[in-house]
Amino acid sequence: MSASLRLLRQPPTGGDDRLRVVIADHDGLARRMMRTGLSDEGVVVVAAAREAPEALDLTRFYQPEVLIIDTALPPAGGLEVIPQVRSASPGTRILTVSAGEDNETALSALRTGAIGHVSKDLHPRSLAQLIVRAAEGEAIVPRRLVMPLLDVVRDVPDSGWRPLRSRLTTREWEIVELLDEGVSTDDIAERLVLSTTTIYSHIKSIMRKLNVHSRRDAVHGARLLRRKEVRENSQASRR
């Protein structure tokens, strides 16, 4: 095994210093090919998942250096589980894969918390090398995504989470961020120096605009809205 494919630190079990990976892909053939190809290059695939809940459970248990996750992972796509993986295993780097060249999905994955995106057509040796680089904290961004990423950066203000043009106000986006962190109404009011009545009013407005009925759904709806609005802003800026 090449020395470049060894981790710089020992895994929790202490007996094997190879890079550990969890694969999450609904396609059994793709899972087998990745497992075999990576094993040949000295990367240990400790587990493989077919669905998002299983991927989350396995990542939480094994705490791998890298999670390779298919963007089309059932039941709702790999992107939906990325925030949960980051919370359950903060040290795990997330690398998304897809069969095609769907730039919008790849960009959404990066915004959600993935460290990079690659194609399933990649040779196992090249994939192993990229996984090592991802484990070391390097962003794995295909050249075709560089310009779209720059467009996204231009559409993000210097401060805040809000797209330049949005259905939600800047204050509402601030509250959505805090809701996403699990902050209570009283603590939100304290952080923003507002009354709890005002916070309740803002939350009600957010849920009305997003047509949802719970705070959890409001956070999910806001993520979807942000992706849509960033895309629309980017398209408008190119016209």
- 169 with 200, same domain: the answer is yes
Which one of 113, 144, 175 terminates a domain?
Answer: 144
pLDDT tens-digit map of 28-42: 999 998 998 888 888
Evaluate if residue 12 carries a pLDDT over 50: no
Which one of 124, 144, 164 terminates a domain?
Answer: 144
- 10 with 125, same domain: the answer is yes
Residue 190 in any domain: the answer is: yes
Please check whether residue 191 is in contact with residue 185, taking contact to mean a CB–CB distance below 8 angstroms. no
Residue 160 in any domain: the answer is: yes
Evaluate if residue 232 carries a pLDDT over 80: no
- For position 3, what pLDDT does the model report? 36
- For position 161, what pLDDT does the model report? 54
- Span 186-196, mean pLDDT? 91
Q: What does the angle CA 141 – CA 20 – CA 13 come to, to the nearest 5 degrees?
A: 145
Banded pLDDT at 123 (limits 50, 70, 90): confident
- 212 with 174, same domain: the answer is yes
- For position 233, what pLDDT does the model report? 58
How many domains are there within the chain? 2
To which residue do tokens 């903060």 refer?
90
Q: Provide the residue range defining the domain that includes 210.
A: 155-238
Largest CA distance in the chain: 62
- For position 100, what pLDDT does the model report? 74
Residue 22's DSSP bridge partners are 47, 67
Which residues have C-beta within 8 Å of that of residue 55, sequence separation ≥ 6?
22, 24, 49, 67, 69, 73, 78, 81, 85
**How many Å apart are CA 112 and CA 122, to the nearest integer?**
23
The overall average pLDDT reported for the chain is: 83
Q: Between 155 and 69, where is the model more confident?
A: 69
Evaluate if residue 5 carries a pLDDT over 80: no
First to last CA, the chain: 51
Which one of 111, 144, 177 terminates a domain?
Answer: 144
- For position 178, what pLDDT does the model report? 92
pLDDT tens-digit map of 39-64: 888 889 999 999 999 999 999 999 99
Task: Look at the pTM and tell me if it is higher than 0.85.
Answer: no
- 15 with 48, same domain: the answer is yes
- Span 81-96, mean pLDDT? 91
SS (H, E, C) 38-76: HHHCCCEEEEEECCHHHHHHHHHHHCCCEEEEECCCCCC
